[in-house]
Amino acid sequence: MYLLDKLNEKQREAASYGKGPILVVAGAGTGKTRVLTHRIAYLIETGKAMPWEILAITFTNKAANEMKERIAELIDYSIDRMWIGTFHSVCVRILRKNIGRIGYDSNFVIYDTNDQKILIKDCIKELNLDSKKYNINAIRGMISGEKNRRISPDKYISEHFGEFYKRNVGEIYALYEKKLKIANALDFDDLLLKALKILETEEEVRKLYQDRFKYILVDEYQDTNLIQYMLVKILGQKPDGGDNVFVVGDEDQSIYGWRGANINNILNFEKDFPGAKVVKLEKNYRSTNIILNAANGVIKNNCQRKGKNLYTDSKGGNLIRIFEMDNEKDEAFTVAALMRKERRENNIEYSDIAVLYRTNVQSRALEEGLMREGIPYKIVGGLKFYERKEIKDIMAYLMLVYNQKDNISFNRIVNVPRRKIGLKTIGIIEDHANETEVSKFEACYDASELNLTAAASKNISDFVSMIEMLMIKKDVMPVSEFIREVYETTGYESMLFSDDTVEGRSRVENIEEFLSAAKDFEERYEENSLEDFLAHVSLLSDVDRTDETQKNTVTLMTVHSAKGLEFDTVFITGLEDGIFPIIHQDDLNDDDLEEERRLFYVAITRAKRMLYITYANDRMRFGNHEMKIKSRFLKEIPDECIEENQPDTFAAKKIEKLEKGKHFYGKRHPFVKNSFFKGEDDIKHERPRLKSDVIRPGDKVMHKAWGIGTVVQIKGEGNSKSVLIAFENKGVKNLILEYAPIEKI
């Protein structure tokens, strides 16, 4: 049939299959969407089904709309009556007609995330529980998880009756469900659960939809969870045996186990639908032969797979280049240099380049490296590092401590974390500040004289005392230690740790990475006071904002965010054990390791022409230097696919340029430590380090920037020894002795 003429043999075999269940195992870049849309067009064109007799399920509304557009281009029939949508949208249509059977009105409302949080907050309050101990985000995540496991509130309470905290969480869950019912409301999990309940308990409804949908097609089947799997099974398994279920997926790209996806759904398809046909799409239309051979070499080490081997008619290709780097700074320099090389030698646009990493926190060093080189970039699936709420909150504390006239920073953090300083109190403070022409923080000193309640006045006084104590500490602590002090003293750390969700844990990691940035700043710059650090970050942020206006930008994203995308040139960074794979040797789990390997497989297959992989021997993590070893996955790439590069191939050239003054937007930063850029000649002639055994409390020293000072205290051991010095005009400074630019006088 002419409709299928442009498909290859395997694609055509899948799209034109007759009756019965079929699993299409579609490898990366093999044209699965093309097969799905042609399958639907074929069923309609050949008269096997009318448009309204087809149910096509996707995972995103974008994918559903794209599918509709493609089908409309292939056939002349109207597809308006065809059911094409996400699991949730399909279930809403079922519920609107049938939800009355389980005690709801058809005009039910759908609660989004914010609505859920408000409802949970009300439940905590009604049960007289401490809102500080019962985190709303964590409880919302728990409820969602239990619903998707089909665990009712009563069962949850029964299972955890002996655990005081979890029993109370169960009570919150029960009250939450009660309030939803009273409001005739459903949350997103309910849309699937209630639809499944109706199909399971109402035979008339079940038969109606089983008869209506002659053909059911499901995209990304490897990403289905328990409830979605059960929905497909109950709609697809006909009483007469006419199971016309067509699912497309790739077990090697199953990377969402952490959010409930079950790889066994695709692995066990033939057991769930006996007699099912399996068609494997292995011809790749995206990547070079080298890249595909590398991907095949890696993924064959997994056991949980049906097995396939990607290939292409296009032979050869560029070898994959793997770079061993000293640290994340060298990694960023190298990535930037390679981007410029690709642009220069292959005429590649920045928009054709992507940098992939395992976790969002890895973006910080890469962002700084690209910003210093003036390379425009955008972040996919998250905010740029310094724009994240938790980073901006801590920055606001630092800025208020540094400058008490900063009203914007005051507004941002005066009640973050919550310290019962409400809008009414802030309004009174603001009015007083305007009347007396002082800053809002300065107006707080008069809190006891204003028209405030005793409790509000005390809360303001406690806030002022906290900031004043931090103002004292900022002059006697290194920046990184001071930021940690702010993080802990303000209660921000406790607030984040109380949110035991993926989002909450990610915010904790972001703060720890911010501490790494501060530690890195201390080691690299002679002028490293709080003032200098704030200026440094502000400079990065300013450049960051200007790049946002450029359309031709490099894309930075996690590998999870990259699924379904493709780029001419791809950099996969941070290939070290403990980062990628993210699991450590002491908590090694076969299932987790296999999912990490699938994630690496997805990363490799995003590249069309050129693939670079980097790893570092030393990486700043959570404010500390960690020695790293290269990822075990790198050993699984066939030798004939790779070109290993020495660590100094690009980093040395970059440092050579830096030593000639080409750094920080065209000129050398005046306060960058010489040790950071030293070459061989510098190493031969550099000033000997000041040893702790030749310097004692009471000695006078000379600092290049701060002048004469007196040694107050020496503490620590080995390379971590620090020295507390009182300078005549710069206050007390705590310096790492190994890096301190001081001389005894």
Catalytic positions are 32-33, 219-220, 253, 606
- How does DSSP assign 596-607, residue by residue? HHHHHHHHHTTE
Cβ atoms of residues 51 and 44 within 8 Å: yes
Cβ atoms of residues 597 and 295 within 8 Å: no
DSSP letter for 690, please: P
Cβ atoms of residues 576 and 285 within 8 Å: no
**What token pair was written down for 722?**
């620090």
Helix runs in 377-422, H state only: 389-402, 407-413
The burial of 321, by beta-carbon neighbours within 10 Å (0-12 exposed, 13-18 middle, 19 or more buried), is given as middle
Cβ atoms of residues 634 and 650 within 8 Å: no
Cβ atoms of residues 36 and 62 within 8 Å: no
Nearest to 232 by CA among 413, 55, 484, 15: 55
What's the Cα-to-Cα distance from 50 to each of 21, 107, 217, 248, 714, rounded to whole Å? 19, 30, 14, 21, 83
Whole-angstrom distance, CA of residue 548 vs CA of residue 543: 9
Helix runs in 127-185, H state only: 136-148, 153-159, 164-182
What's the Cα-to-Cα distance from 437 to each of 402, 432, 442, 470, rounded to whole Å? 20, 8, 10, 25
Residue ranges of E strands in 45-149 = 54-58, 83-86, 109-111
Single-letter amino acid, residue 745? I
Three-state DSSP class for 85?
strand
Please give the distance of CA 686 from its chain centroid, rounded to a whole number.
Answer: 42
Task: Give the strands of the sheet with 642-645, arranged side by side.
Answer: 377-380, 554-558, 353-357, 567-572, 607-616, 320-325, 642-645
Cβ atoms of residues 656 and 668 within 8 Å: no
Q: Provide φ and ψ at 459, rounded to 5°.
A: -65, -40
Whole-angstrom distance, CA of residue 380 vs CA of residue 258: 20
Cβ atoms of residues 643 and 321 within 8 Å: yes
Rounded to the nearest 5 degrees, what angle is found at the Cα of 208, between the Cα atoms of 207 and 209?
95
Buried-exposed string 358-385: b where 16+ CB fall within 10 A, e elsewhere:
bbbbbbbbbbbbbbbbebbbbbeebebb
Q: Provide φ and ψ at 722, rounded to 5°.
A: -125, 160
- How does DSSP assign 570-613, residue by residue? EEE---BTTTSS-S-GGG--HHHHHHHHHHHHHHHTTEEEEEEE
Helix (H) or strand (E) holding 268: none
Non-local CB neighbours of 491 within 8 Å, separated by 6+ positions = 417, 419
CB half-sphere exposure, 628, CA atoms < 13 A: 28
Single-letter amino acid, residue 169? V
What's the Cα-to-Cα distance from 180 to each of 126, 176, 183, 594, rounded to whole Å? 15, 6, 5, 39
Residue ranges of E strands in 397-467 = none
Nearest to 142 by CA among 497, 498, 501: 501
Cβ atoms of residues 480 and 515 within 8 Å: yes
Three-state DSSP class for 371?
helix
